[in-house]
């Protein structure tokens, strides 16, 4: 069974345990790396052509504006095909209750019929939000499993919970 980890992550200024911290690697990328280590799945990072601001407050305003206008930001790249993949781990930070809009762009680009999607997100208190329902709506032919919410501030210690979540998927 071929697997791919598709993730969107943001370094720079992030809200972590009530304060703004500058991260050299985004929390979702850290979690995606752990899943990669545990599964060997191929990694693909979703990158918008126009990045969100490195400034936290500007970033959240941009992300909220994208969501309010139901934007589909252009991406820099896509995998050539997802045809050979049965299982897609889908990672993202929770932005305003769901995935960042570049993830919507990515999901609408491919047909996920017959694929299993395993969502995971990093957050600072909002969990998965409505992202699982949004993924089901965007990928009607896919099986969308229960997601794994990971508290962003403790992502570096999340290996055990990630491992337990992965074990439930087999």
Express each pLDDT in 87-134 by its tens digit.
Answer: 999 999 998 889 999 999 999 999 999 999 999 999 888 889 999 999
Q: Is the pLDDT of residue 79 over 80?
A: yes
Residue 15 contacts by C-beta under 8 Å, 6 or more apart in sequence?
21, 56, 124, 152
pTM of the predicted structure, to 2 decimals: 0.94
Fold of 3-169: Rossmann fold (3.40.50)
**Distance between CA 96 and CA 70 in Å, rounded?**
13
Domain ranges of the chain: 3-169
Express each pLDDT in 19-75 by its tens digit.
Answer: 788 888 989 999 999 999 999 999 999 999 999 999 998 998 999 999 999 999 999
What pLDDT sits at residue 70?
A: 95
């Amino acid at each position: 069974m071929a697997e791919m980890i598709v993730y969107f992550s943001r370094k720079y200024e992030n809200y972590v345990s009530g304060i703004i911290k500058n991260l050299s690697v985004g929390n979702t990328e850290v979690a995606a790396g752990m899943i990669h280590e545990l599964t060997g799945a191929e990694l693909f990072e979703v990158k918008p052509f126009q990045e969100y601001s490195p400034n936290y407050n500007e970033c959240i305003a941009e992300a909220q504006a994208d969501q309010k206008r139901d934007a589909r930001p252009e991406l820099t790249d896509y995998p050539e095909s997802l045809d050979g993949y049965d299982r897609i781990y889908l990672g993202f930070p929770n932005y305003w209750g769901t995935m960042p809009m570049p993830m919507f762009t990515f999901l609408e680009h491919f047909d996920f019929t017959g694929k299993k999607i395993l969502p995971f997100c990093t957050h600072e208190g909002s969990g998965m939000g409505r992202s699982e329902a949004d993924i089901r709506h965007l990928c009607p032919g896919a099986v969308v499993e229960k997601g794994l919410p990971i508290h962003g501030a403790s992502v570096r210690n999340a290996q055990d919970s990630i491992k337990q979540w992965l074990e439930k998927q087999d």
